[in-house]
């Protein structure tokens, strides 16, 4: 009886063989492409697919912003988001997203909604690499190069691969050239503590992984008005501040008055100068600000928010430093309102027997 029993083999993370696939999304339908890519990310095209193990491959998609919809989905399909405030529902059509600043998010969201939610799904989504432009990827890097596939039937070869013909033997290279390339290959073969290879893995002869396309980071441009100043708007509670910043001696004027006069409390002056302290630019910029609404504490937070925004627009290289300090995000904290039947927001009245 025991001889008739069958066992199901589950893949282990250390045994997963991850490969790289390059897909050109120019002119492809969003939903149909997303189903194929989602199956590859999950590893469902492999006989060793295990639902609870990340056994999928890496997928690099170029021209991700040139996908298309069928029918009238460009006008009919709507993406929603909520700000967290009452009545803060926002909506945008798929056509506006494709015409906007991040058109690749249409395809990313379609694939993400086909991946299971949870830690495993997040690990699988990290194997997806989306780019708006094209990437010149040499054909000798291993894996499956799909940039020349222009139809969904051709892309189906990813999930149903055909046996490849054996490659012709390569011509032996001189010993000096082979020795020079060996350190470069081993230096790129890096992995993290979990045994999974990173995005810049080395190319191997067995197609285990290949080096992903390298895209240069785009540095934000300097934004100045005709007077050479950087402008930004800051908000905190009910206060709104308009800030103009330019190089100078560190003079700060709020509503036509010096900062020592407008913000008499040293704590408030310390708050508005925090962005300069984090960026190491104390006394190097003059600030002119107008602020309305709220109290002095809220106005100081609004001016600080505006100064941080204007500083990163004058010096885009400082954006990372200021953002890590949390100064580019509006402070959402607010005093909790008093509730009916209570002394304050949470505090109850003193108990009395009579």
Lowest mean pLDDT among 16-30, 192-206, 278-292: 192-206
Q: Determine the average pLDDT of the residues in 264-283.
A: 95
Check residue 162 and give its pLDDT: 56
What are the angstrom distances between the C-alpha of 175 and each of 140, 172, 182, 187, 189? 20, 9, 11, 19, 22
Q: How many whole angstroms from its chain centre is CA 172?
A: 43
**Pairwise pLDDT comparison (213 vs 261), residue with the higher score:** 261
Does 67 score more than 70 pLDDT? yes
**End-to-end CA distance of the chain, in Å?**
80
How many angstroms separate the CA atoms of 296 and 298, rounded? 5
Residue pointed to by tokens 């402070």: 331
**Residue 168: which residues within 8 A CB-CB, separation 6 or more?**
none
How many angstroms separate the CA atoms of 256 and 263, rounded? 12
Q: What are the tens digits of pLDDT across the range 22-59?
A: 999 999 999 999 999 999 999 999 999 999 999 999 99
What does 158-223 look like in DSSP terms, one character per residue?
A: GTSPPPPPPPPPPPPPPHHHHHHHHHHHHHH--B-TTS-B-TTPPP-TT-S--PPPP-PPPPPPP-
Q: What are the tens digits of pLDDT across the range 288-324?
A: 999 999 999 999 999 999 999 999 999 999 999 999 9
Q: Determine the average pLDDT of the residues in 5-29.
A: 90
Nearest to 18 by CA among 149, 146, 166, 203: 203
**DSSP letter, residue 305:** H
Q: What's the whole-number average pLDDT of the chain? A: 82
Token representation of residue 35: 């189903």
Instruction: Check if the beta carbon of residue 42 is closer than 8 Å to that of residue 56.
Output: yes
How many angstroms separate the CA atoms of 317 and 310, rounded? 12
Check residue 94 and give its pLDDT: 95
Q: Determine the average pLDDT of the residues in 82-90.
A: 93
The pTM assigned to this predicted structure is 0.42
Does 248 score more than 60 pLDDT? yes
């Amino acid at each position: 009886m025991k001889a008739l029993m069958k066992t199901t083999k589950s893949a282990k993370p250390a045994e997963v063989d991850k490969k790289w696939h390059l897909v050109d999304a120019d002119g492809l339908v969003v939903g149909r492409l997303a189903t194929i890519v989602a199956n590859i990310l999950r590893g469902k095209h492999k006989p060793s697919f295990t639902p609870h193990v990340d056994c999928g491959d890496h997928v690099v998609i170029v021209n991700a912003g040139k996908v298309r919809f069928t029918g009238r989905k460009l006008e009919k399909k709507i993406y929603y988001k909520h700000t967290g405030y009452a009545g803060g529902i926002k909506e945008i059509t798929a056509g506006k997203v494709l015409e906007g600043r991040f058109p690749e998010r249409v395809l990313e969201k379609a694939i993400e909604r086909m991946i299971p939610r949870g830690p495993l799904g997040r690990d699988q989504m990290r194997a997806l690499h989306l780019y708006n432009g094209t990437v010149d990827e040499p054909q000798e890097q291993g894996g499956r190069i799909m940039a020349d596939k222009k139809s969904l039937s051709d892309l189906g070869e990813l999930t149903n691969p055909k046996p490849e013909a054996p490659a012709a033997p390569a011509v032996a290279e001189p010993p000096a050239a082979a020795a020079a390339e060996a350190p470069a290959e081993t230096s790129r073969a890096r992995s993290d503590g979990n045994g999974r290879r990173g995005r810049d893995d080395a190319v191997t002869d067995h197609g285990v992984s290949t080096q992903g396309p390298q895209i240069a980071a785009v540095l934000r441009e300097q934004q100045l008005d005709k007077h050479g100043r950087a402008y930004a708007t800051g908000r905190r509670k009910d206060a709104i501040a308009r800030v103009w910043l330019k190089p100078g001696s560190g003079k700060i004027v709020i509503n036509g008055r010096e900062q020592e006069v407008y913000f008499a409390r040293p704590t408030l002056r310390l708050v508005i100068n925090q962005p300069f302290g984090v960026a190491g630019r104390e006394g190097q910029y003059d600030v002119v600000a107008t602020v309305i609404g709220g109290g002095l504490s809220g106005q100081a937070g609004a001016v600080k928010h505006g100064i941080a925004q204007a500083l990163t627009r004058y010096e885009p290289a400082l954006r990372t430093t200021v953002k890590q300090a949390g100064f580019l995000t509006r402070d959402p904290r607010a005093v909790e309102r008093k509730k009916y039947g209570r002394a304050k927001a949470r505090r109850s009245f003193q108990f009395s027997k009579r």
